[in-house]
Amino acid sequence: MQSLVRNVCRAGSRGAAARLLELAAAPVAAAHPGAAQPSSAVKHLWQPYGLARPIGVDQSVRVQSRVIPAAASGFGHCAKVLVATRGLSTVGNAAEVASDSDDSTSLAVEHPPRIKFKRPDKTARHIMNILNKEAVDKVRSEREIPDVQPGCMIQMRLQVPENKRRELTLKGIVLGRRNAGINTTFRLRRLVSGIGVESVFPLYSPNIKEIKILDRKKVRRAKLYYLRDRVNALKK
Amino acid sequence: MAAASRGLLARLRGLSLSAGGSPRLPFPPSRLFSAEAFVSHSDDDDAGGEGGGGGRIIEARAGVMGPTSRRTGVIGVKCGMSAMWDKWGAKVPITVLWVDDNVVTQVKTAEKEGFFALQLGAGQKKEKHLTKPEVGHFRAQGVPLKRKLREFPVTEDALLPVGTTITVRHFLPGQFVDVTGITKGKGFAGVMKKHGFSGGPASHGASLSHRSGGSTGQRDAPGRVFKNRKMPGRMGGVQRTVKNVWVYQIDPARNLLYLKGQVPGPQGSFVFVKDSIYKKPDTALLPFPTYFTQEGEPEDLEPLIADLGDVDPFMAAD
């Protein structure tokens, strides 16, 4: 009996809590008449099932093809035949499949079609990735952002809102770049009256009005922190 | 479920008080547990699916928000943090919340449950991932299966019928909200991290006591450690509410809520957003009881950004 239930579970992958319930009920009820006449019990339980369903042409054929062998043979055979009929039904036309799934899921709560059940943290990460990409694309469409890489000598105009929106012109060498989507930053080292000053700027900040790349040095590091120890870092 | 049993108790109590002599059961008991009740709930008045319980008719239409009215909140999914620049060039730290398919799943009324509240559901879930009682609850209410349920106490005028969709336009950009969530668990933390103690000295002969909490009490006089003494222990993983969070932007097309600053919990966790208690939003502007989509409204709305004023805050500071 368990094998029957298991087989049916496997068979009813496309459908239907209803079918599973009915099938699960069958062996349980069949246990009461005893093992001597299992086939009649199965037939008895199958009969209202076939009648209760809205019977299309294909379905009536299918239901009967299930009932008759079940009546003729024992449980194991019945399960095999069920698997065989399942194989047939999957190659049937789409309309029949749809109607079958419809009336069988009338017991179940109606799902919205094709919902992905991802873990919320993965969905959240996906949303953030999309937002990040859109923000970067938006900034890139509005103004030209040059490819700032470590080893670049750049000159940039920076507006400082905190200081009455005055514009500064900074010139220095890029020590490194930290990629983080819209929050990508780069580290600029420059000489202010002989003293090295490092500062970090967001690459996509609207306060950076212009970045001009003067020169690209050939470097073999991603982070040029060794330049801090060089006396004439800018001349190199 | 606790709510269901509460409702049942209230109903039984009401029956015993009012009916007295006639012991009419509110429902045939066999019907509740039969498979039939799963299928047809429309004629089953005890299911309470139609517009809430107690025969009260709740309509989904806009009303006027009084000074004591309390709207429902929403269930959001914390997506993560980012930063934006506002139109004045100031950087705004942003937390993105996703209001994922929020639907009213149950209406609790004073007649039935003894209080007014709305239960909201968010997300989707398959039947096989829910317990039978949960599935029964969703079926009785006639709403799709939801991943997360949360009850929000509301006033009577802010009740909404079951099945009402609540979108992110429930909130206005520029208002303040309170965000409740479960904080990230920090594990077993010491007193410096957990309670902000100063710890011990780094040198001057300090031995094994750089991060210790020091003394925990007095001498023989009490002879014990007082209650509520701050000690090391588990930190985080408890419910916290961050109050007065400013709504910077809403994205109705995607149901995204952009808040300024932090909210509790890791990414992907559920948080509950309500109107702020202290910095109350303007009741004349808020959509009450919630925002209903009008006909002929464009589907893809542009994101709405909070009004930042026309005066440059950087120049006006002088």
Task: Give residue B289's pLDDT.
Answer: 86
Q: What is the mean pLDDT of residues B120-124?
A: 92
Task: Give residue B312's pLDDT.
Answer: 82
A119 CB neighbours in chain B (<8 A) are 268
Q: Per-residue pLDDT tens for A55-82?
A: 333 443 344 444 444 444 444 444 443 3
Residue A111 banded pLDDT, cuts 50, 70, 90: low
A168 CB neighbours in chain B (<8 A) are none
Amino acid, res. A110: E
Higher pLDDT, B167 or A5: B167
Q: Per-residue pLDDT tens for A10-31?
A: 444 444 444 444 444 444 444 4
What chain B residue is nearest to A119 in terms of C-alpha separation?
B268
The answer to whether the CB atoms of B77 and A109 lie below 8 A apart is: no
Task: Give residue B22's pLDDT.
Answer: 43
3-state per-residue secondary structure call for chain B: CHHHHHHHHHHHHHHHHHCCCCCCCCCCHHHHHCCHHHHCCCCCHHHCCCCCCCCCCCCCCCCCCCCCCCCCCEEEEEEEEEEEECCCCCEEEEEEEECCCEEEEEEECCCCCCCCEEEEEECCCCHHHCCHHHHHHHHHHCCCCCCEEEEEECCHHHCCCCCCEECHHHCCCCCEEEEEEECCCCEEECHHHHHCCCCCCCCCCCCCCCCCCCCCCCCCCCCCCCCCCCCCEEECCCEEEEEEEEEEEEECCCCEEEEECCCCCCCCCEEEEEECCCCCCCCCCCCCCCCCCCCCCCCCCCCEECCCCCCCCCCCCC
Task: Give residue A230's pLDDT.
Answer: 79
What is the nearest CA distance from B259 to chain A, expressed in angstroms? 14
The ipTM (two decimal places) reads: 0.75
Task: Give residue B193's pLDDT.
Answer: 95
Say which CATH class A146-227 falls into.
Answer: mainly beta
A45: phi then psi, degrees, rounded to nearest 5:
-80, -30
Task: Give residue A114's pLDDT.
Answer: 64
B85 CB neighbours in chain A (<8 A) are 205-207
Domain locations in chain B? Answer: 75-101+173-190+242-291+305-317, 103-165
* A131 in contact with B, Cβ within 8 Å: yes
- Asked if B4 contacts B137 with a C-beta cutoff of 8 angstroms, the reply is yes
Query: Is the preceding peptide bond at A27 cis, omega within 30 degrees of 0?
Result: no
Chain centroid to CA B186: 23
Tokens of B84: 């934006």
pTM > 0.80: yes or no: no
The CATH classification number of B75-101+173-190+242-291+305-317 equals: 2.40.30.10
What is the nearest CA distance from B7 to chain A, expressed in angstroms? 24
Q: Per-residue pLDDT tens for B265-295?
A: 999 999 999 999 999 988 888 888 888 887 7
The answer to whether the CB atoms of B96 and A128 lie below 8 A apart is: yes
A111 CB neighbours in chain B (<8 A) are 124, 126, 144-145
* A32 in contact with B, Cβ within 8 Å: no
Q: Does residue B201 register a pLDDT over 70?
A: yes
Give rounded-to-5 percent helix, strand, coil for chain A.
50, 20, 30
Q: Does residue B82 register a pLDDT over 60?
A: yes
Tokens of B168: 């992110």
* B260 in contact with A, Cβ within 8 Å: no
Task: Give residue B293's pLDDT.
Answer: 80
What chain A residue is nearest to B86 in terms of C-alpha separation?
A206
CB-based contacts of B223: which residues, under 8 Å, 6+ apart? none
* B135 in contact with A, Cβ within 8 Å: yes
Higher pLDDT, B182 or A99: B182
Gyration radius of chain B's alpha carbons: 25
Residues of B (84-103) whose Cβ lies below 8 Å from A: 84-85, 88-91, 96, 98
The answer to whether the CB atoms of A123 and B77 lie below 8 A apart is: yes
Amino acid, res. A29: A
Q: Which residue has the tokens 């009215």?
A: B69
CB-based contacts of A185: which residues, under 8 Å, 6+ apart? A177, A178, A200, A201, A202, A203
Higher pLDDT, A78 or B208: B208
A110 CB neighbours in chain B (<8 A) are 144
Task: Give residue B133's pLDDT.
Answer: 95
Q: Per-residue pLDDT tens for A180-199?
A: 999 999 999 998 888 889 99
Task: Give residue B46's pLDDT.
Answer: 42
Task: Give residue B153's pLDDT.
Answer: 94
From B78, B82, B98, residue closest to A132, measured CB to CB:
B82
Residues of B (200-239) whose Cβ lies below 8 Å from A: none
Optimal mutation site among B42, B82, B100, B256, interface A, most CBs of chain A within 10 A? B82
Task: Give residue B55's pLDDT.
Answer: 66
**Domain B103-165, second-level architecture:** 2-Layer Sandwich (3.30)
Torsion of Cα atoms, A215 then A220 then A222 then A223, to 10°: -80
A207 CB neighbours in chain B (<8 A) are 85, 89
Amino acid, res. B260: K
* B244 in contact with A, Cβ within 8 Å: no
Task: Give residue A108's pLDDT.
Answer: 54
Domain locations in chain A? Answer: 146-227
